[in-house]
Amino acid sequence: MHQGVAGSNVRGIHRSPQSRSQRESTSGTFGRCGTRWHRNGECGAGHIDSGWPDRHTGRKAIAKLSKRRAAPRIDLGAENVILSSLPLDDYKRLLPKLERVKLTRGHLVYRAHRKIEAVYFPEDAVVTMVDALNDQRTVEVGTIGREGMVGINIFLAGAASPDQAIVQLSGTAIRMSAQDFRRELTVGAALQRLLLAYARALLAVISQSVACSQHHTIQQRLARWLLTFRDYSGGGEFMMLQSSMAAMLGARREGITEAAHKLQTASLISYCRGRIRVLDGPGLGRKSCECYRFIARQYAALNLALKPIARA
């Protein structure tokens, strides 16, 4: 049985021109306005900040690549970086085993210490790996978007993971059963090489995250996290509850509220009904710790290296 109910099959989905937060708001999955962030009753509605690099540049490149690769039955122009870096023959071989699914915010992709039934290559969905202690306290140990794969433990010859994977930003991903994935690893050298490179980058990011949680302030970490999700959302606006941010950062909600209120007072972000908008990316960058830039560099270097690695 497939565990973790990650979403319904949406093969052939046509994306709505709505923003991510608009799409989510229509599904009614967000909560009330954060009152302490939003004391004056104004939600700061306005255009979406797009002053910082976003993923659309990469999406265009990948769409172009997918078009070049298009074979008669290909209807999965995957926007995932790993899949789109595969040599054409490998990609064609994988296609019958892939399906595009919609991942909805808050759903468990897999549970801790349970058998992982499938791996996921996110497109515009974003999934976090979360560790939970016996007393229910949680902390995010890794974030996976279009640069990676959810279920890396399967690649590392495991069957389960010590953490759980939760969808943070709704969107699509390409799913492959764990059984097919293991079989592909025995014949697909390019996929192995790509995932080894990704696993190295992910380990570096996780190591940095450990240091971050020990040595950087809540406000620095919140700024880093907001910038990361701003980048993933591709437009400076996304849906997120304060309680989710507290859970991800392993902090008390009051601490998150206070830090976020300072960022809002400084006109760096706005928050209304769970909708967060980055108003001043460079300003927020100055509030962030070094970890945001470190992680961005890791994935930028990985992105550049993947295609040569796949062809090696």
Per-residue three-class SS string for 128-159 = EEEEECCCCCEEEEEEECCCCCECHHHHCCCC
Q: Are 302 and 295 in contact (CB under 8 A)?
A: no
Minimum CB separation of residue 289 from Zn ion in Å reads 3
- Per CB under 5 A, 251 contacts Zn ion: no
Per the DSSP assignment, residues forming a β-bridge with 271 are 276
Minimum CB separation of residue 291 from Zn ion in Å reads 3
- Per CB under 5 A, 291 contacts Zn ion: yes
Minimum CB separation of residue 209 from Zn ion in Å reads 8
Kind of pairing between the strands at 126-132 and 275-278:
unpaired
Minimum CB separation of residue 245 from Zn ion in Å reads 15
Nearer to Zn ion, 216 or 253 (CB): 216
**Which 197-236 residues touch Zn ion, going by CB under 5 A?**
212, 216
Mask of contacts with Zn ion, 162-201, x by CB under 5 A? ----------------------------------------
- Per CB under 5 A, 289 contacts Zn ion: yes
Print burial letters for 6-42: b (CB count within 10 Å at least 16), e (below 16): bbeeeeeeeeeeebbbebbbeeeebeeebeebbeeee
* Site residue total, Zn ion (CB under 5 A): 4
* Residue span binding Zn ion (CB under 5 A) among the ranges 79-87, 179-187, 237-245, 284-292: 284-292
Nearer to Zn ion, 154 or 223 (CB): 223
- Cα→Cα distances 95→84, 135, 144, Å: 12, 43, 22
Nearer to Zn ion, 144 or 205 (CB): 205
**Binding site residues, Zn ion, CB under 5 A:** 212, 216, 289, 291
